Amino acid sequence: MKIISSIDELRDQLRGQLRTVFVPTMGNLHDGHLSLMRLARKHGDPVVASIFVNRLQFGPNEDFDKYPRTFAADIEKLEKEGVYVLFAPTEKDLYPEPQEFRVQPPADLGNILEGEFRPGFFTGVTTVVLKLFSCVQPGVAVFGKKDYQQLMIIRNMARQFALPTQIIAAETYRAKDGLALSSRNSYLSEQERAEAPALFRELNNIADEMRKGNLDVSLLQNNAMQHLKDRSWHPDYVAIRKRVDLQPPTAGDLAQDEPLVTLAAAKLGVTRLIDNLEI
């Protein structure tokens, strides 16, 4: 595996490759990330991964400096997965001058849910993803469904900018007890780790209720929020939304079996976890 930090060197290395498939990450790789690498290999060759902790998507009170960085272990894992190139730029490599041009997602998608509780987050995400796409120039890029809203925003950005990159969605990779794998899970204490699957259980409870015919969206959301609070969580939101645009479903949508997704974000101790479940 070649480890490259320079944009020019990366482009030289990939020149002439027509089926490059790309998996962007922020490192601290776990089995969920590695499943993305394996899915990527099914959609192209060579596989290029990136590791870059993107300052632009962290708010002033978020964990940029404390975000877990495990570069040596990440290299070993990527080599075992047969990744051809690891693009690991420094901030100076990727942002040699202040990144004053930014990608601004539309408010009706970028300022709701995660965007409401993490202002500017999706501007930082879309800006770095567009820049990474420009560096790698992949035919295919793979993103996980765990970050459901992010996936939708990136897909829409790629379509509206007519980028020559197909966005492939990977199913959320879970531990045996249902917890979605995340780099931030390492922040959980032993007791919190045992409690963490409760978030996914609440999403499943909502799905079960809706399949039984309970379509009182507000009641289902509020009950799930209260259940989490009763278990010492601090939820930001539990939201039942339409898959197509993440807007709340109308009575007509519910009557016509519009495809839905339930999304949630909540803090357990100091760790903020997100999850979702398509209904």
Residue from 47, 43, 50, 40 nearest 83 by CA:
47
- Which residues partner with 144 through β-bridges? 170
Residue ranges of the alpha helices (H) in the chain? Answer: 7-14, 31-41, 71-80, 91-94, 107-110, 114-117, 121-136, 148-160, 190-195, 198-211, 217-230, 251-255
Verify whether residue 227 is a known catalytic residue: no
Q: How far apart are alpha carbons 29 and 71 in whole angstroms?
A: 9
The length of the chain, given as a count of residues: 279
Helix (H, G, I), strand (E, B) or coil at 245: coil
DSSP bridge pairs for 23: 49
Helix/strand/coil for 132: helix
Catalytic residue among 33, 43, 227, 234: 33
Kindly list the catalytic residues.
33
